[in-house]
Amino acid sequence: MTLEHFDDGRFGAAENMARDVLLLEAYPRPEVLRLRHYDWEPDCFSFGYSQCHEWIAGQAVKGASLARRPTGGGLVDHRRDWTYAIAIPLAHPFYHADALAVYRSVHEAIAAVLESLGRPAALQPPDDDADIPLIFPTAAPKRVRGLCFAGAETYDVIDPVSRKKIAGAAMKRNKSGLLMQGSIDKITAGEVDWQAFGGRFACELGDKLSADGDRVVAPPDYPPDKLAETIAKLGSDDWNKRR
């Protein structure tokens, strides 16, 4: 199984979420592994599927574009991150694997590439609860997971000295496969050659996913009607303010 990867350019919040969904559900070669890297229009934030929009709106920058992700997790500020999405097809063993094992493998790839570029990185261990900062703000409703980068959870990528979170992600599985949406905080990561990072990450990820190889491809051309329909859905109040 081959890993195909591409840089998809810069889009608004709703369109980026739509393109992630279509990466999983409408990619022209559904049998391959897929890695999408992309940028955002200014002042975009995304938040987890189960989060409360009213609370989230009070945490983001006033006037910023907000988009509910199809995956979980907390509020992410995309003005300062390196964002990616991974789609794993049904036939791949990771589709059936424990979610934490998938999470760990992808974050091991990120940490290894950061290390190769001179930026020390480690994974948050599962039994180190005492040093993990609180990620559930007391002012938030109980069901809200809070701010994604406020603290590290098991197998997040962290700075080994300060223990600040560098990278996190969230996943969902459906009948099309597994989608993982991830974010790397460029401010915490510091001086990193991000252009070099992208290619090395694809290579390292391919190894973790036991891909036969990786290749750079052009961004896919989704059916215009399907793309427009998905953007409209993920930009609507029915989707973003649903809970």
Helices (H), 117-241: 186-189, 194-208, 224-234, 237-240
Pair 155, 61: CB distance under 8 Å: no
Residues of the chain where predicted confidence (pLDDT) is lower than 50: 129-145
pTM: 0.90
Pair 152, 163: CB distance under 8 Å: yes
91: number of Cβ within 10 Å? 11
pLDDT for the residue numbered 132: 38
CA-to-CA dists, residue 154 to 9, 100, 131, 228, angstroms: 31, 8, 12, 37
DSSP 3-state assignment of 232? helix
pLDDT for the residue numbered 136: 29
pLDDT for the residue numbered 59: 82
- Per-residue pLDDT tens digits for 187-208: 999 999 999 999 999 999 999 9
Which amino acid, residue 221? D
Pair 155, 145: CB distance under 8 Å: no
pLDDT for the residue numbered 142: 35
Domain boundary assignment for the chain = 2-240
CA-to-CA dists, residue 66 to 5, 55, 136, 179, angstroms: 26, 12, 20, 20
What top-level class would CATH report for the domain 2-240? alpha beta
- Per-residue pLDDT tens digits for 69-90: 999 998 899 999 999 999 999 9
**Tokens coding 9:** 């350019």
- In this structure, are strands 33-40 and 81-88 parallel, antiparallel, or unpaired? antiparallel
d(CA 124, CA 107): 10
Distant-in-sequence, close-in-space partners of 55: CB < 8 Å, separation ≥ 6: 140, 141, 144
SS3 content of the chain, % helix, strand, coil (to 5): 35, 25, 40
- In this structure, are strands 2-11 and 213-216 parallel, antiparallel, or unpaired? parallel
pLDDT for the residue numbered 79: 92
pLDDT for the residue numbered 147: 66
DSSP state of 96: H
